[in-house]
Amino acid sequence: MSKGKIIVGVSGGVDSSVTALLLKEQGYEVEGLFMKNWEEQLPGGECMWEADVEDAMQVCDQLDIPLNTVDLASDYWDRVFSNFLEEYKSGRTPNPDVLCNQEIKFSAFLSHATDSGAEKIATGHYARITEVNGHYQLRKGLDCNKDQSYFLCRLNQAQLSLSLFPIGELEKHEVRELAKEAGFQTHDKKDSTGICFVGERPFREFLSRYLPEQAGEIQTPEGEVIGQHNGVFYYTLGQRQGLGIGGIQGASDSPWYIYKKDIENNILFVVQGHDHELLYSQKLTATDINWVSGAAPETPFKCAAKTRYRQADQACTITHIDNNSCSVTFDEAQRAVTP
């Protein structure tokens, strides 16, 4: 007897393939659902979604489960990509994967799945969910090198209660081994990296299609103009590459790094040396906070945080939670904290 209907977000990759495999082996009624999130006639339309859906079809055929497709391109544009552009215009460096999980995979996709009769959805994320007295905890995946809980940080209790992450208890090599044993051609498929809609082109080239170049100055902390740039929104704090600075009289041979952006005046400020003090911050203010538990904890409290995906957890203290923001003080100063 089936445990219930689960719709799996199949992407044509090895992780979602094994997710579907595990759930079927556990006795669930499993269906695959492939999301199309980008219009092929738009820049970035060369995303390999057609090849991916073929891989998804082959896996679902091998598992003898149905596969459907849902077109969420309009939702993605309105709820993720538009925000992505606005953030860049404001001089920030957004992570569209975080918003995609909140607004598309665990909202639009989830709604479509439950409307189709699913009790829950499942995805190939390396993360875990633990239920404790009716409350759902989002936990890191067992494989610390592949952990994706960072990208799921904006999920709420309702979304977690309707989600499963079957491979969260596995390491990547185990997932590939299971796929190979099952005869999936996806067992050695390369992991997707970067932002799908950017395609294979350089990121700045892609962004320039939506945010026209705006020439501006590159200055030192003292206000000396030492170069030109094409728009502050093309750059991020801590960046070294692509500045085109060299041969500055009186300067050393040390590389230059961006430490500040003046959005209003379109100016980049740079310093020399990877470990220059102006690249470091001890404190930050976090805004637009999502408390996964559903309620803010009492302050102050100690925890670990990170300001970018691949960064190791950093010890810190949280204080002054107010109006959906809080103060974060790190035990050790952090380099190139980027909004």
d(CA 329, CA 146): 27
The one catalytic residue in 47, 196, 316, 326 is: 196
Q: Is there a contact between 242 and 294 (Cβ–Cβ < 8 Å)?
A: no
d(CA 79, CA 73): 10
60 is catalytic: no
Which sign, positive or negative, has the C-alpha torsion 221, 224, 226, 232?
A: positive
Integer-rounded Cα Rg, in Å, for the chain is 22
**DSSP secondary structure, 256-325, as one string:** EEEEEEETTTTEEEEEESTT-GGGEEEEEEEES---TTSSPPPSSEEEEE-SSTTSPPEEEEEEEEETTE
**Which parts of 165-279 are beta strand (E)?**
216-219, 225-229, 256-262, 267-272
The one catalytic residue in 60, 100, 316, 326 is: 100
100 is catalytic: yes
d(CA 99, CA 179): 29
What amino acid positions are annotated as catalytic residues? Answer: 100, 196
